[in-house]
Amino acid sequence: MILFDYARRNIRLHWFRSFLAVIGIVIGVVAISSMGVLGNSLVLSISDSLTTVGDTIVVYPQSGAGPMGGGGGGTTSFQITQRQVDQITRAVGTNLVIPVHTGADRVIMGKENQAVSLYGMDPADIPEILELEDGIFLRSTTGAMAGKRLAEEFDLNVGSTVVIGEDGERVRIVGILKERGIGFDINPDYALVVSDRWFESTYGEEGYNMVVVKVEDLEEIDAVKTAIEDALNRRTDVVTVLDTRAILQTILDAFNNISTFTTAIGGISLIVAGVSILNVMMMSVTERTREIGIIRSIGAKRREVMRIFLYEALVLGLIGAGIGGVLSFGGAFLAVSVMLQSTTYLFVPSSLVYILYGMLFGIGTSLLSGLYPAWRAANLNPIEALRHD
Amino acid sequence: MEKGVNPSGKSGGPLIRLADVTKVYPLPAGDVTAIDHLSLEVEHGDFVAVMGVSGSGKSTLLNLIGCLDVPTSGDLFLNGVNIRNLADDPLTELRRDTIGFVFQQFNLIPLLTAYENVEFPLILSQGRDGGPGPGEIANRCRAVLSSVGLDESLATHTPSELSGGQQQRVAIARALVNDPDILLCDEPTGNLDTRTGTTIMELLAEMNRAGKTIIMVTHDQRVAGYARRRIELVDGRLA
Ligand SMILES: Nc1ncnc2c1ncn2[C@@H]1O[C@H](COP(=O)(O)OP(=O)(O)O)[C@@H](O)[C@H]1O
Ligand SMILES: [Mg+2]
């Protein structure tokens, strides 16, 4: 393909300015495809979680203490009272209701003194939502269970003693919980779980910070949610009722904001790249005016001249998209492992197709930018072009 | 009005006919009349030397005959076809298939090798009906390069690696490769020393003997001696 080769040689002749133009394409392709892959991996991993924890409804007091914000150790003025918990229990019928205190306090573990999240729950409820790794479940008011990650980091074992709070109450670890991953209700991996009684007496708290409802039949989730809302939010909204789906939606919304932003950056760098390719190509057309005259004189039609220059834009686009595509694997890998802590969903076709999209965008931008210079070249007057030097 | 190029190239009339052709270049400083009501006929197989001082319109005449430009007024017939009625694409095809250009500056494409420069016009006509296939392209390039006497080992060199005489041979090969009816040469020896110029002229004379119609611009009386016929331009008119 001599016309293609010809374009390629011209790029190689002016490799430095071509290289600069290509960088923009690379950045644009990487930004767009990494975001696409990340977004898709996120959606996939969330839909996977959906099936495992899709049976959970979480009730928060109407203070805005949403799923992402932890409770502030016993000082939250918005709480769910025992009376409201009873209302919820009546509203949800046979489904299990688990009221939870959340807080945080300084905890001395060995030589370390560290702020640690605390969950206060009825010992009878704990086996319902958490699993045991070692030791036993909490059976009395005193004692605590440690999350797996916390236990690993501070070397806690069954039988270890920790000191919780200012007054320094010594508490024995009776069990270690299985690692649970990011949950939509509670996240005990890096926390201590204590009994509700102990929590209430230590922090002088009556109300709960959240209520977890386990729904037996997934089909009922909307009905249960409505029942809770009808029971508690009769006059004013006193509680926020979230099912995991709604929580996922907030996460997705947050992601969409990030992704729009990053894709915009990708788009801007493609525009900048487009302008610089336009510039490089205009230079090329000007420098090669005489050459264009020669090509026309030996019988190249306008559209053939146009094709020669579009090939040049195409080669720039292909180089940019190629490099960008390769780097996109890196970019996507980084983004996915940082944001999702797992690359399970990176190497699936529905994710990888975004790298293809990114590359196509890059090539498209190049071709689009080459269009005007190519048109200019094609429409030069052959005689004027031949007289040019 | 005649339609279509006569495929035999042997219509009753002359190969080239200019009827009262005028070419005016509109310039901001005032119009320049490069060709002024000029009429001329050139028969098949002729070899015409166009002479005249610089600025007398010789190149303009060649460009008009070569369909690089169209007359401001008057008619130009190639093989009986009035080029005034042709759009840009058919004009370009005419250039590609019936005309070969040889320039004073050689005008080879710097990034392409000698072989590729010769191949280029064939590639351009590859798509057309009866156009050459890949095998034929290679054969014709090799044949035409040897007919202009270019050493085969030079075919892979780029123009900058060739001497002036070698470049002009490549340019003539490129002009001949599509087997055109007409060779238009604008001072083909102008950038060559006398000895090299002579070999190039002998090559052109040989092409003429082989049937090519040649129109050649030159200042040089000796070079003009190779032609069968001379015309002289003065201010765009025949002297
Ligand atoms: N493309 C052009 N634009 C404007 N003026 C031109 C152009 N080509 C030629 N001319 C003018 O037309 C006249 C004839 O030019 P040219 O045909 O090149 O003469 P020659 O080849 O005999 O030296 C000159 O005055 C020249 O300046
Ligand atoms: Mg001239």
Q: Which residue has the tokens 């080239």?
A: B16
* Type of residue at B4: G
Q: Please report the ipTM that was assigned to this predicted complex.
A: 0.91
Quick check: B121 and A294 CB within 8 A? no
Q: Minimal CA–CA distance to B36: which of B18, B54, B16, B17? A: B18
Nearest CA to ligand 1 atom 2: B25
* Type of residue at A132: L
Query: DSSP assignment, residue A234?
Result: S
Asked if the C-beta of B112 comes within 8 angstroms of chain A's C-beta atoms, the answer is yes
Look at residue B2 in the predicted model and tell me its pLDDT: 40
Ligand in closest contact with the CA of B63: 1
CA distance B12 to chain A (A): 27
Which pTM was predicted?
A: 0.72
Interface of A to B at Cβ within 8 Å reads 2-3, 6, 9-10, 13, 290-291, 294-302, 304, 382-383, 386
CA distance B142 to chain A (A): 17
Strands (E), chain A: 56-61, 96-109, 112-121, 132-135, 144-146, 161-164, 169-177, 191-195, 210-214, 239-243
Chain A residues close to B109, C-beta within 8 Å:
6, 291, 294-295
Q: Choose between B166 and A183: higher pLDDT.
A: B166
Q: What is the pLDDT of residues A156-187, one digit of tens each?
A: 999 999 999 877 889 999 999 998 776 778 88
Look at residue B130 in the predicted model and tell me its pLDDT: 65
Look at residue A51 in the predicted model and tell me its pLDDT: 52
Q: Are the CB atoms for A119 and A144 separated by under 8 Å?
A: no
Asked if the C-beta of B199 comes within 8 angstroms of chain A's C-beta atoms, the answer is no
Look at residue A17 in the predicted model and tell me its pLDDT: 86
Residue B9 has pLDDT above 60, yes or no: no
Look at residue B209 in the predicted model and tell me its pLDDT: 95
Q: What is the pLDDT of residues B209-238, one digit of tens each?
A: 999 999 999 999 999 999 999 999 999 999
Look at residue B8 in the predicted model and tell me its pLDDT: 45
Look at residue A77 in the predicted model and tell me its pLDDT: 57
What six digits make up the tokens of A193?
């779980």
Q: How many CB atoms lie within 10 A of CB A6?
A: 20
d(CA B202, CA B206): 6
Q: Which residues of chain A are modeled with pLDDT < 70?
A: 1, 47-54, 63-77, 182
Selecting from A9, A304, A383 the residue whose C-beta is nearest the C-beta of B111 gives: A9
User: Dihedral of the CA atoms A318, A320, A321, A323 (nearest 10)?
Assistant: 110
Chain A residues close to B174, C-beta within 8 Å:
298
Provide the 3-class DSSP secondary structure of residue A89.
helix
Q: How many CB atoms lie within 10 A of CB A289?
A: 18
Torsion angles phi and psi, residue B112, rounded to 5: -105, 150
Q: Which residue has the tokens 């996460």?
A: A251
Q: Minimal CA–CA distance to B197: which of B160, B225, B156, B178? A: B225
Q: Are strands A112-121 and A96-109 parallel, antiparallel or unpaired?
A: antiparallel
Look at residue A345 in the predicted model and tell me its pLDDT: 78
Nearest CA to ligand 1 atom 21: B59
User: How close is the Cα of B53 to the center of ligand 1, in Å?
Assistant: 12
Look at residue A48 in the predicted model and tell me its pLDDT: 66
Element (H, E) at A127: helix A126-129
Quick check: A299 and B123 CB within 8 A? no
* Type of residue at B122: L
Look at residue B83 in the predicted model and tell me its pLDDT: 94
Considering just the CA atoms, what is the radius of gyration of chain B in Å? 18
Look at residue A167 in the predicted model and tell me its pLDDT: 76
User: How close is the Cα of B232 to the center of ligand 1, in Å?
Assistant: 16
Interface-testing mutation among A10, A296, A297, A387, with chain B (most B C-beta atoms within 10 A): A297
Torsion angles phi and psi, residue A214, rounded to 5: -90, 120
User: How close is the Cα of B65 to the center of ligand 1, in Å?
Assistant: 15
Look at residue A65 in the predicted model and tell me its pLDDT: 43
Q: Minimal CA–CA distance to A329: which of A42, A34, A38? A: A34
- How far CA A260 is from CA of A264, A340, A350, A355, in Å, comes to 6, 18, 19, 17
d(CA A224, CA A245): 14
Query: DSSP assignment, residue A9?
Result: H
DSSP B92-135: HHHHHHHEEEEETT----TTS-HHHHHHHHHHHTTTSTTPPPHH
State which of B24, B50, B59 you would mutate to test the pocket of ligand 1, scoring each by most atoms of that ligand within 8 A of its C-beta: B59
Look at residue A75 in the predicted model and tell me its pLDDT: 42
Q: Are the CB atoms for A313 and A369 separated by under 8 Å?
A: yes
Q: Are the CB atoms for A340 and A42 separated by under 8 Å?
A: yes
Q: What is the pLDDT of residues B52-102, one digit of tens each?
A: 999 999 999 999 999 999 999 999 999 999 999 899 999 999 999 999 999
Nearest CA to ligand 1 atom 26: B55
Chain B residues close to A296, C-beta within 8 Å:
68, 92
Quick check: A299 and B119 CB within 8 A? no
Query: DSSP assignment, residue A72?
Result: P
- How far CA A118 is from CA of A59, A114, A284, in Å, comes to 18, 12, 68
Look at residue B127 in the predicted model and tell me its pLDDT: 65
Look at residue A7 in the predicted model and tell me its pLDDT: 84
* Type of residue at B30: G
Query: To the nearest whole number, what is the mean pLDDT of chain B?
Result: 91
